Amino acid sequence: MHVRAIAASSVALVLGALAGSLIAGPLDPPAGPVSSTYKTLTVVGPRIKIASLPFTINQPGTYYLVSNFTAPAGSSGITVNASDVAIDLNGCTLTGGSGAGNGIQVPAFVNGLKVRSGALRGWGGVGIFASQASQATIEHVSVSDCSAGGMAIGTKSIVRSCNANNNLGYGMLVMHYSTVTDCNANQNGISGLTANSNAVVTGCHASDNADAGMIIGGASLVTGCIATNNGDAGFDCASRATVSNHTAYGNNGGFLLDDASTITGCTASDQFTGPGIWVKNECTVANCNASGNPEVGIKAGSDCHIVGNTCADNAFSGGIYITGIANRIDSNHVSGNSGYGIRVEGADNLVIRNSARDDSSGNFAFPTGSEYGQIIQYPGNAFVATNHWANFAF
C-alpha cells in the first residue's frame, strides 16, 4: 500500500511538471499582421465553368455548370477527351436538340471520369455515352427521354443513386467489373439495367421496360432488387450468378438463371407469362417463394439442388417441375397448384422430405428410376414418423 502511494505521488509530480511545461510558453502573438496559412480553391484546383454547349474537355480538371443548357440541333453536349475529369452538373439539366447527339460523350479510352448531381434529357443519341471510360463514377444523375439509351458506362465503374427512365433504347448499360447501387430503370424501350460480367448490383429497381428488367452477366452478385411488369424476364442472369433477396412480379418470367448459378431468398409471384424461377443446370434454388405464376413455380434442368422453397397456386406445370437428371429436391412445400405439386421427368433424381397438398393433377409424379423417400399420405393427428426422409401428402 505504501509503495502504491509513493508511485501515485511520483506520477502526479511528473504529470504536474509536464503540464507546467506545456503551458509555459509566451502568450503574446508574433509581431506583424496575421495571415492565413490555408490555400485558396484556385490554388488547390481551379473549377472551370461550362458556359455553353457544345463544350469539349481536353484537359484533366473539375468542370461545373451554372445553368440549364439546350444543345444546338445535331450537336452533342459535352465531349470528354481526357482522363481524370470531374463534371459537376450542379443540379442543372442538359437537354438535347434535334438530331443524334449524345449528352455527355467519351469518344476514346479515358480513366477516372466523374459525373454527378444533375439531369440529361431528350438526346437523340445516349444521355451519357461513356462505354470507353473505365473506373468512372456516375452518381445522382437522371437520364430520360433519350433515343438510343440512357447511359452506357465503361469497365470497373461505379453507378450510384441514378435514374434512367422513359428512354427509347436501353436504360442503363455498364461494362465488366462494375458496381451499380440504388438505381432505378423504368419504362425504357429495351431492357432496364444491363450489367456485364463480374458485376455487383444492389438495391436497384426495374419496372415497365419493354424487354427484361435486368440482364446480368456471368459471375455477378445481385442483391435486394425489384423487377416488376417488364416485357421479358424480371431477372435474366448468365452463368455463375449469385442472386439473393429479390422480388419479381408481373413479368414474362420471373428469374431465368443459366448454369452454375445460385438463387436464395427471392420471391417470384404472379408473372404475366412464364415460370416464376427457371434454372438450367448445376444450380441451387433455396428458400424462395414462387407462387401464383401462370406456367410453373420452379423449373430446373440437371444436377440442381432445390431446397426449402414454397410453391403455391401455380398453373400449367405445377409447383416444381424437374426436366433433367441427378437433382436433389429436398424440404420444399407445394400446395394448390393446377398441375402436379412436384413433377420429375428425368431419372436418378433424389426427392426427400417434401410436403404437398391439394395439387390438381396429383401431389407427386415420378418416373421409373427415380429415388424418393416414402410418401406418407394423410398422416393424421399426432402421428409419429420413423422415416426421416419421407415425403408427405395431406
Digit-coded pLDDT (tens) for 90-110:
999 999 988 889 999 999 999
Q: What is the mean pLDDT of residues 144-166?
A: 98
Contact between residue 367 and residue 345 where contact means Cβ atoms under 8 Å apart: yes
pLDDT at 224 over 60: yes
For the cut 60, the answer to whether the pLDDT of residue 266 exceeds it is: yes
Q: For residue 54, is the peptide bond before it cis, meaning its omega torsion is within 30 degrees of 0?
A: yes
DSSP 167: -
Predicted confidence at residue 278, as pLDDT, reads 98
DSSP 28-83: SPPSS-----SPPHHHH--EEEE-SSSEEE-S-EEEEESS-EEPPTT--SEEE-SS
> 79 vs 87, 167, 245, CA distance in Å?
11, 21, 39
Mean pLDDT score of the chain, rounded to an integer?
Answer: 91
Other beta carbons less than 10 A from residue 222's beta carbon: 25
CB 216 within 8 A of CB 236: yes
pLDDT, tens only, 7-50: 333 333 333 333 333 344 455 656 666 555 555 444 446 899 99
**Contact of 345 with 364, CB cutoff 8 Å:** no
What is the reported pTM? Answer: 0.87
> Cell triple for residue 295?
406456367
Whole-angstrom Cα distance, residue 311 to residue 334? 5
Between residues 21 and 277, the one the model is more confident about = 277
**pLDDT at position 34:** 57
Distance CA 284, CA 148 (A): 37
Would you call 231 exposed, middle or buried from its count of C-beta atoms within 10 A (0-12, 13-18, 19+)? middle
Across the range 131-157, mean pLDDT stands at 98
CATH of domain 122-393: 2.160.20.10
> How much is the average pLDDT of 107-121?
98
Question: CA separation (Å) from 228 to 55, 103, 158, 206, 288?
Answer: 39, 29, 24, 7, 17
